[in-house]
Amino acid sequence: MRLRQLAPCALLTALLAILPTGCGSVNGGVRVEGPAPTALPWSGPVYVADRYGRAWQHPETIDLTTLILLDGLTWRDWGAPRPRATGEASCKVGCTAGQARSYQIRVVLSDRVRRGSVAYYGEATITPVHPPAPTWATGFARKGSLNLPDS
């Protein structure tokens, strides 16, 4: 009687030993064919956030810091990976006496970051059209991180 009870267990053990095991296992492992998938380009709306976290599309003015305002911005290629603008950076407070309170700039936005069904530019590169920038803007005329809303 005991032998009859062990026979089904022995048969199951023998079958498991000869059958492939594991999810998706094929003799020699998993076989992958074809090219790797590529990232799809972003096709939704893209924004830039000001220092208050307000979202803007191709803004004429961006209040980026408590000290400096970007104004008169004219954009090219908004929504692309690297839109460009020309405009003016103005000193709001703490300007150095005897220096210009504003200067002409070029702006390049980059590093699109998705937040839900939209994206935001995460970095800005700001360069003077006619270097050098005034001393009050020395730390500003560079590449810097932009405000991003929480995901």
Domain positions in the chain: 46-145
What's the pLDDT at 64? 79
What's the pLDDT at 66? 83
Least confident segment among 6-15, 58-67, 99-108: 6-15
What's the pLDDT at 48? 95
26-85 tens-digit pLDDT: 566 677 777 766 555 767 899 999 888 899 999 999 987 888 899 999 999 999 999 999
What's the pLDDT at 137? 78
What's the pLDDT at 10? 61
As a whole number of angstroms, the distance between CA 2 and CA 83 comes to: 80
What's the pLDDT at 39? 59
114-139 tens-digit pLDDT: 988 999 999 999 999 998 888 877 76
81-94 tens-digit pLDDT: 999 999 999 988 87
Please determine, for residue 145, whether its predicted confidence score (pLDDT) is greater than 80: yes
Which one, of 133, 114, 111, lies nearest residue 122 by Cα? Answer: 111
Which one, of 127, 125, 119, lies nearest residue 145 by Cα? Answer: 125
Please determine, for residue 5, whether its predicted confidence score (pLDDT) is greater than 70: no
As a whole number of angstroms, the distance between CA 118 and CA 56 comes to: 12
What's the pLDDT at 59? 96
Cβ proximity of 124 and 112 under 8 Å:
no
Q: Which residue has the higher pLDDT, 122 or 9?
A: 122
Where do runs of H (alpha helix) occur along the chain? 2-18
